[in-house]
Structure 1
Amino acid sequence: MNTQEPPAERAEPGGRHFEPDLRSMTRITLRPIASPMPVGFFAVAIASVVVGSMQLRLLGDDAGRAVALTILPAFLLQLIVSVLAFGARDVLAATLMACFSGTWLASALVLALDPPSGTRVLGVLNLVFAFFALLMATVAHRKRAMWSVLCVAVPRFTVAALFNLTGAAWLGPVSGAFGLLLAGVAMYAAFALMLEDMRSEEVLPIGRRGPARDAVEGNLAVQLRDLERQAGVRRTL
Structure 2
Amino acid sequence: MFAFLSRDGGAACGLSVLGCTWAGTALVTLSGPVGQRSPAMAVFLLGVAPLMLLLCAAALPGKPLFGVLLLIGAGRFVLTGAYEAGGAATLQSAAGWVGVALAVFALYGGFALLLEDSLQRTVLPLGRRGRARTSLQGDLGHQLEQAEREAGVRRQL
SS at match of 2:89: coil
Q: Which runs of 5+ in 1 are unaligned?
A: 1-82
Between the two structures, name the one with larger relative contact order (CA 8 Å, sep ≥ 6).
1
Q: Counterpart of 2:42? A: 123
Q: Which runs of 5+ in 2 are unaligned?
A: none
SS at match of 2:153: coil
Q: Counterpart of 1:176? A: 96
What does 1:101-112 correspond to in 2, within 5 Å? 101-112=19-30
Amino acid corresponding to residue 156 of structure 2 in structure 1: T
Verify the 8 A CA contact 1:110 1:122 in the aligned structure 2.
Answer: yes
1:174 Cα shift? Answer: 0.8
Q: CA RMSD in A?
A: 1.6
Q: Tell me the alpha carbon deviations over residues 13-55 of structure 1, each in whole angstroms, 9 at most, x when there is no partner.
A: xxxxxxxxxxxxxxxxxxxxxxxxxxxxxxxxxxxxxxxxxxx
1:167 Cα shift? Answer: 3.8
Structure showing greater radius of gyration is 1
Verify the 8 A CA contact 1:134 1:154 in the aligned structure 2.
Answer: yes
Q: Counterpart of 1:195? A: 115
* TM-score normalised by the chain length of structure 2: 0.91
Q: Tell me the alpha carbon deviations over residues 175-209 of structure 1, each in whole angstroms, 9 at most, x when there is no partner.
A: 11111111111111111011101111100001110
1:118 Cα shift? Answer: 7.0
- Once the two structures are aligned, what percentage of the paired residues are identical? 38
- C-alpha distance in structure 2 between counterparts of 1:235 and 1:226, whole Å: 15
- C-alpha distance in structure 2 between counterparts of 1:84 and 1:218, whole Å: 21
Aligned residues: 154
* TM-score normalised by the chain length of structure 1: 0.61
Q: Counterpart of 1:133? A: 52
1:173 Cα shift? Answer: 0.4
